[in-house]
């Protein structure tokens, strides 16, 4: 059943564009999703819990920091990372988000900008899922405008031993309440720098955001830094300016372009299966023109979005992927995935509003995904500047 | 603040079309919403509870069975009923749904088709909110096709004393688990008939549907009737055939056309207020073209939908409202309200996914509203048949 | 046939909102459209000619300057004007445009801002359609921004006898090449003023814009004023600043809100009739779900737009209509009319691309209507400023 | 200029997916378009003429029957054919349509189903553009349902010498009035067969369809066969049943999926250039958020559609392309191209309704393209059956 569904979903034979290792990895992650996420996600979601046993399992699956080389990281290709993200988000965006925060944000920041000592201390155990990282960039009053960052780290003393005193507020920080280490971005007298703040550092207050209508099986937090004293070793030596966090955001956005199509595909497949078995006026719903129109438009956009994600992945593996291309992928694929999940939900009738079926959960999750790492508007204006040469942000 | 917001929302000066009694009633219900629903709805929603104290308060407010005459009912006009539904749903669709189930479905069924004795027994206390009613029509396998009803009531004995034995299953029955009386529709040897089944009747099993992503501050249930014995007095004498329940559905649909615009308006006002105060790149969000475009399209559709609802109300009060006109109102206003609530949510950025702001709750609620009393597709095909003369349901 | 079509089009019984004089007028204009426009419009359109005999006939019909009082003008209500505009544009937007340019722009300018002498000289014969007027406001480089007007009239001499020397360029000036009198707006040392320039005045060069894909049965021109000498009597004494031309634009926009719905309704009715008679796979097109969905969505928006136009008309007749409300009507009704005409065209299959059926002609015409008197963007930003209090034009 | 425009259009670096021969061919066809089509198309379109000198020039360019092998045909790949179609339709859909009718329909029919003698007689001179072919399948009363074909060819005599008598009507037959040979499909006692009918055959009446609002630089005709006597050599020996013409339609549809993206790209580039130079309120249009939003959405869909077309082409060259995949390409790319051309037109303001700018011409042309070789609805239902397994045509 699952096999044949997949085949009719793959109208354009996109599978023929994947190599055997890519297909193998996909099967492996898909199995994980079918066995570990699918049977439990409704409960996790209703109860608003992130399953603490999952990080170690995902580490074993090999999807944490999977595109990084060395330090115990899997060292897979960008396409492989994308394929895995798609299957995980076919499970739940919140689970894929954990993988993105851990691998594309926290681990990538350390891998790219950290000292040798920092890398060795954190990366292997993060790749294994034994330690959890988070990435504190967004601030309460500046979701789409990181350049107005108000968090500040001032030098604490002078000379090589001089540490830092960090103050400020962050919001929407994924996994912060369970993180063993935070990558924190703050202004300094030398511009924006990154810091590693271990769990338990005095002066750090973390409050999970509750009463969420989206990604309830995930965690996002408010974090307040109240004159937090950090030693000199807390600084990420390699990152200077906004380029530091932005390069991590681009990693995450790339994964999102794939992931969103997973949520879309899962929504579509649920609707297709329901439409095939639900009878109305003596015929399966799938036999009505109004239903077919919906299903066809869904599958078309899923296929186009997947083709786009794969194209981006091939460019990335060739070292030729540009930020505006990632913006195109994130903007398009999340936007279309939301439309698809919503349309799928309508095919399910009243049953579609329960957690027994995935489309409405996916649609709600994707509202978070749409917002984080750049809203539709932000990516539209990034692309607008690229094609016209004129900025229109202000 | 609330006053001025309302003014800019009323771009087309639709308030000038309302009489002073209608405006007074609106203020009264709006106050109730602001004081009783707004401060509590996030908690009710998150905890998935229907507030048991509300029915009596709504009874006192005069909105239960409000369009009915006599038997302790308020006897208000259709427009007044609509205006109240709009304000209540600006609070929450789940609360307005209670009012619809109680007044437009259960009480209307008894008022229209019940015996004198039935009316006197139930209506006054239902109007007061002391007793709760529900309306059991929809069946698990036939959401959009009531004509295939499988529930059956056979005669139990002969002669005037003969009672009934009722068997069957119902689904999505609002308020069933707390109802004091159920209006149940079932096939009989004489076609479809309605029955009044008091709470506690042996053989009735009611199970609330949980893990809902919509209308969590409301209750919908599965109900199973296992050879339930009913006396002859259970029968609603006046209702024969599908016309019985359908006339009640039309009452409810009429109220929905108004109510949906309340959810839409509340979403719009939340987004407008947020956009006015949230700064981005040194300017309020409200000053950006992309935000204004969204807000303008929202307010246009709210105004058009409200104008439509009011027109339907005036026709109804003139005794000239036809079912296909109600279909037009329900189809259009719920569909547009969903778009508006979703668009409003995007203006709120990340904050929009929490229960601190109403748009995403409204959007999710409206998915239930879209489905019950006829999906978009059902109303499209009702109207399609009306304008073309050709049925295309099958 | 025409009668029954009208009935199924009027799903919401909007006709019941019109008085008997309004209905009578509508019948009269509809008859004119059916007898004079409908049989000839395809030829006029293909040949790109404006029928010169029409102005006198329209004058006799009583639709030129119809909302003006005195000076031989019909003195009808705003609703009556709207009802007539709707029927004329059900014929062709180009014909309705002539009526707007003549009545709402040129005649209104003279009526509102002209001297007694100017009114008596021009208005009676313009109301009769014996003389044609035009309205020269838009400039080639500033379609949506009249405040940047470059045309300039300098004083020619001093004292009461001083005339003017007018220089500048105008574009998209409807009817200019056949106009007997032009109302021309130009900057002066005292701000923007209006002038009456009779046909044949030396220094005025008029060139019709050809190779149009829209409103081919109408005329739009480039006009160049090369040091045109005007006497003191050319000045419209009452108009100072942009308020002069803008008050005329608002008259025209009001009529457009009605007119666009006429083009939409005619498109819908053509598609409905075609769908009812065209067989496919042994059933009329009208019996397919995909066709019904289109027709239903069309009729819904036509009804909503018509209800909106009528509401604006009632406000106008009560002296309470505000410019932003007109913007709402123009923006919504033209935008929706375009969607409707395009959708209607798809129901006609291949036949829809010929002039044998009106929808594609209407859709193309409406592209002009969408642009003139303020694009979608301009009206969106006018409304955006109204509801947010913040301008976002720049 | 043209170079840099192309670069910003190619946001996703799709050019990197093309080989050097493909890029070379593209340059060559693009040059032809820039020199032969672009400077003349407005005039051809306004005058409604198909330029008779073009076939020979297109033959020399090597784009007639370009994907066919032998008999003087170019023998290019499917991707090369697609790339050429895209450039030609960036010129005008009517010109690309001529190439499709000649190559994908008429020549393919002869190449695939003709006798050796037929191939040698017609193909070399058709590839050279010396002779023109057409393809008569569609009938006046059955646009989307070829199985109901009413044209009939009965045997005329018996034995090997027996000819045929052909009667029936065809509509929307491209190039018929200038064709040297018609491929005509008709029912026979043995099912549907194809016939070659040379120009001048007695009993054939061809009438060009005039007063078109689309593809005015192309020709479509009504054709009536009134007891037309054909010799035995007229029969295409290889084609039996609907599979004959359908395999040709699929060739044409494949080319359309590419071509439509050419019209879309040309529309986008015209709008981008205009927006960059047109000033409004002191800033280029391109600097406004509302304009950037339009341009970004356009370029995204162009890139997705082009990626899709290229994927189809690679599948075709690998011999793995299925009909439902072609349906996906035709449905998506034409539908999106229409949206893009329409949106581009709005950026051009009033100027957009003239033939000075291509978007509105493209938008109108694409209405023909959307209809021929299967409407949106037909392809939706083909795909709907593919994914659900249930037909919903009737």
* Three-state secondary structure call for residue D182: strand
Q: Hey, which chains touch C, using 3+ CB pairs under 8 Å? A: A, B, D
**Model pLDDT, residue D114:** 98
pLDDT for residue C1 is more than 50: no
Domain B133-234: CATH superfamily, name plus number = Butyryl-CoA Dehydrogenase, subunit A, domain 2 (2.40.110.10)
Phi-psi region of B87 (alpha: psi -120 to 50; beta: other; left: phi over 0): alpha
Which of D198, D232, D170, D195 lies closest to D113 in space, CA to CA?
Answer: D195
For C372, nearest residue in chain D (alpha carbons): D350
For A287, nearest residue in chain C (alpha carbons): C289
Which of B257, B277, B290, B296 is the mutation pick for testing C, counting most C CBs within 10 A? Answer: B296
**Model pLDDT, residue D9:** 81
Q: Hey, which chains touch B, using 3+ CB pairs under 8 Å? A: A, C, D
CA dihedral C137, C143, C144, C145 (to 10 degrees): -60
Average pLDDT over residues D8-24: 95
Number of Cβ pairs closer than 8 Å across A and B?
113
A interface with C, Cβ–Cβ below 8 Å: 288-290, 293
What pLDDT, in 10s, does the model give residues A167-177? 999 999 999 99
**Chain D neighbors of C145, CB-CB under 8 A:** 280-281
Residue D161's pLDDT band (boundaries 50, 70, 90)? Answer: confident
pTM over 0.90: yes
For D11, nearest residue in chain A (alpha carbons): A325
Residue B143's pLDDT band (boundaries 50, 70, 90)? Answer: low
Nearest beta carbon to residue D354 from set C141, C143, C212? C212
**Model pLDDT, residue A147:** 75
Q: Hey, which chains touch A, using 3+ CB pairs under 8 Å? A: B, C, D
CA-to-CA separations, C43 to A188, C40, C49, C217, C361, in angstroms, rounded:
74, 6, 8, 9, 12
**Model pLDDT, residue C161:** 87
Which of C13, C343, C388 is the mutation pick for testing B, counting most B CBs within 10 A? Answer: C388
Residue B35's CB: how many other CB atoms inside 10 A?
10
**Model pLDDT, residue C342:** 98
Q: Out of A122-136, A180-194, C123-137, C155-169, pick the least confident.
A: C155-169
What pLDDT, in 10s, does the model give residues C119-159? 999 999 999 999 999 999 999 986 667 778 999 999 998 88
Cβ–Cβ of A290/C288 closer than 8 Å? no
Domain boundaries, chain C: 2-127, 133-234, 243-388
Cβ–Cβ of A349/B215 closer than 8 Å? no
Residue D200's CB: how many other CB atoms inside 10 A?
7
pLDDT for residue D6 is more than 80: no
For D42, nearest residue in chain C (alpha carbons): C211
pLDDT for residue C6 is more than 60: no
pLDDT for residue D156 is more than 60: yes
What pLDDT, in 10s, does the model give residues D288-333? 999 999 999 999 999 999 999 999 999 999 999 999 999 999 999 9
* Residues of B identified as active-site: 373
* Residues of C identified as active-site: 373
**Looking at CA atoms only, how far is residue B156 from chain A in angstroms?**
31
Tell me the CATH architecture of domain A243-388.
Answer: Up-down Bundle (1.20)
Separation of alpha carbons A271 and A265, rounded Å: 10
CB C169 within 8 A of CB C139: yes
Residue A144's pLDDT band (boundaries 50, 70, 90)? Answer: low
pLDDT for residue A161 is more than 90: no
Structure tokens at A46: 């209703």
Average pLDDT over residues B265-284: 95
Separation of alpha carbons C249 and A54, rounded Å: 65
CA-to-CA separations, A348 to A268, A273, A367, B149, in angstroms, rounded:
11, 10, 20, 20
DSSP D130: S
Average pLDDT, chain B: 95
**Looking at CA atoms only, how far is residue A200 from chain B in angstroms?**
27
Which of C280, C289, C296, C392 is the mutation pick for testing A, counting most A CBs within 10 A? Answer: C289
Cβ–Cβ of D320/A16 closer than 8 Å? yes
CB C366 within 8 A of CB C338: yes
Average pLDDT, chain D: 95
Cβ–Cβ of B280/A345 closer than 8 Å? no
Residue D160's CB: how many other CB atoms inside 10 A?
6
| Pairing status of strand B191-198 against strand B220-230 | unpaired
CA-to-CA separations, C331 to A262, C143, C326, D286, in angstroms, rounded:
38, 16, 8, 22
The H helix count followed by the E strand count for chain C is: 13, 9
| Pairing status of strand A279-280 against strand A220-230 | unpaired
* B130 contacts: CB under 8 Å, gap ≥ 6: B55, B56, B59
Separation of alpha carbons C299 and C297, rounded Å: 6
Separation of alpha carbons D239 and D193, rounded Å: 6
CA dihedral D4, D5, D11, D14 (to 10 degrees): -80
Which of B125, B151, B146 lies closest to B248 in space, CA to CA?
Answer: B146
Separation of alpha carbons B104 and B254, rounded Å: 9
What is the CATH code of the structural domain delimited by B2-127?
1.10.540.10
Cβ–Cβ of C13/B296 closer than 8 Å? no
Cβ–Cβ of D12/A328 closer than 8 Å? yes
For C273, nearest residue in chain B (alpha carbons): B388
Average pLDDT over residues B381-389: 97
Range B20-28 contact pairs with CB under 8 angstroms and sequence separation of 24 or more = B21/B80, B22/B79, B22/B80, B22/B83, B25/B76, B25/B80, B25/B83, B25/B84, B26/B83, B26/B84, B26/B86, B26/B87, B28/B61
Q: What is the ipTM of this complex?
A: 0.96
CB B102 within 8 A of CB B82: no
What pLDDT, in 10s, does the model give residues B154-175? 999 888 889 999 999 999 999 9
Nearest beta carbon to residue A292 from set D286, D296, D388? D388
* Residues of A identified as active-site: 373
What pLDDT, in 10s, does the model give residues A245-291? 999 999 999 999 999 999 999 999 999 999 999 998 889 999 999 99
**Looking at CA atoms only, how far is residue C324 from chain D in angstroms?**
20
* C43 contacts: CB under 8 Å, gap ≥ 6: none
* % of chain A surpassing 90 pLDDT: 93
């Amino acid at each position: 059943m699952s096999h044949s569904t997949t085949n009719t979903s793959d109208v354009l034979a996109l599978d023929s564009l994947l190599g055997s290792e890519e297909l193998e990895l996909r099967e492996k992650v898909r199995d994980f999703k079918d066995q570990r996420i699918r049977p439990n996600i409704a409960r996790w979601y209703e109860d608003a819990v992130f399953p603490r046993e999952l990080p170690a399992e995902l580490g074993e699956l090999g999807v944490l920091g999977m595109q990084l080389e060395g330090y115990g990281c899997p060292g897979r290709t960008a396409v492989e990372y994308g394929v895995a993200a798609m299957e995980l988000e076919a499970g739940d965006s919140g689970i894929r988000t954990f993988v993105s925060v851990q691998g594309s944000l926290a681990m990538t920041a350390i891998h790219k900008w950290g000292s040798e000592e920092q890398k060795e201390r954190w990366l292997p155990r993060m790749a294994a899922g034994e330690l959890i990282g988070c990435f504190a960039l967004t601030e309460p009053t500046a979701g789409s405008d990181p350049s107005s960052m108000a968090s500040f780290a001032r030098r604490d003393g002078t000379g090589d031993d001089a540490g830092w005193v960090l103050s400020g507020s962050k919001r929407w920080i994924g996994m912060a309440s369970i993180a063993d280490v935070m990558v924190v971005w703050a202004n300094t007298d030398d511009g924006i720098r990154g810091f590693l703040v271990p769990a338990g550092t005095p002066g750090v207050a973390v409050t999970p955001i509750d009463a969420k209508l989206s990604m309830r099986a995930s965690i996002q937090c408010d974090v307040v830094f109240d004159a937090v004293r950090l030693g000199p070793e807390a600084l990420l030596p390699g990152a200077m300016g906004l380029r530091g966090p932005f390069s991590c955001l681009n990693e995450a956005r790339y994964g999102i372009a794939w992931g969103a199509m997973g949520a879309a595909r899962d929504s579509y497949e649920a609707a297709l299966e329901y439409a095939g078995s639900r009878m109305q006026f003596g015929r399966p719903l799938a036999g009505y023109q109004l239903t077919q129109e919906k299903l066809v438009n869904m599958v078309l956009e899923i296929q186009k979005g997947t083709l786009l994600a794969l194209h981006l992945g091939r460019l990335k593996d060739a070292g030729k992927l540009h930020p505006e291309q990632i913006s195109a992928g994130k903007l398009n694929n999340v936007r279309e995935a939301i439309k698809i999940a919503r349309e799928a939900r309508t095919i399910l009738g009243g049953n579609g509003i329960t957690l027994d079926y995935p489309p409405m959960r996916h649609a709600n999750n994707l509202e978070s995904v749409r917002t984080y790492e750049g809203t539709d508007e932000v990516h539209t204006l990034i692309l607008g500047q690229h094609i016209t040469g004129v900025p229109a942000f202000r």
